[in-house]
Structure 1
């Protein structure tokens, strides 16, 4: 937890990472199980197979204890979004597809609102629009995959 300049851009978004983590950690025990991951994926409308969930777990569970803790989850968000681990890009694409409800390659404020609502977040479409504006580098009002990667890594550069 050193406060170096390189990691500080990532750490400024740790509250959001914790919020997302807590949505997956349904029982609040500080770790995400395969069952919790399956339940969240189903809530998001994904028919993720047990094999896929096990692959996701194996990719993120770096200490191989069978659970994803906050540190591993945060590392996944940071590392994969930065493109440091090509194997993790699959999961990032999968996450993007979950938000892209109409499968047009863009996430709208309405799509973001629907997904966050399914996850129990109480936010308005305007809140979602503001979230999108914060990462919408091309100004089209949507989040494309490149902008999604930046959002997940909280990387302010283009």
Structure 2
């Protein structure tokens, strides 16, 4: 979980005009510059509206912190769920998904696949080329 002091620093960075509030436009520009996220104006406005408690169309620091902490908690829940799913496929205690373990789990789910097909499925998301999926590679696969 991100510390509030870090989020306050992020808020200050996003508050380009230093008025103590973040507009949808400031949020959009900063998300693109700092996170590489291409957020449309409509998406930025929707994000601001989702946390804008006082209805002024802007995020004060408290509203921003609440939004950021809520998003952080959702990320933690998602990661926990992905770890559980990863553990089901991993099955060998090696900390990775092998073609054999993928094939066994798919078979249990009624979707039989040969070892060659499982290798090909893994290869698509195997970023380091080691022939298996790490948890980080699995997260990327699940986001695709």
Quickly name the TM-score band, shorter chain normalised: 0.3 to 0.5
Q: Quick check: which one's helix share is greater? A: 2
Q: Give the TM-score, by structure 2 length.
A: 0.48
Q: Give the TM-score, by structure 1 length.
A: 0.44
Structure showing greater radius of gyration is 2
Identify the structure with bigger relative contact order (alpha carbons < 8 Å, sequence gap 6+): 1
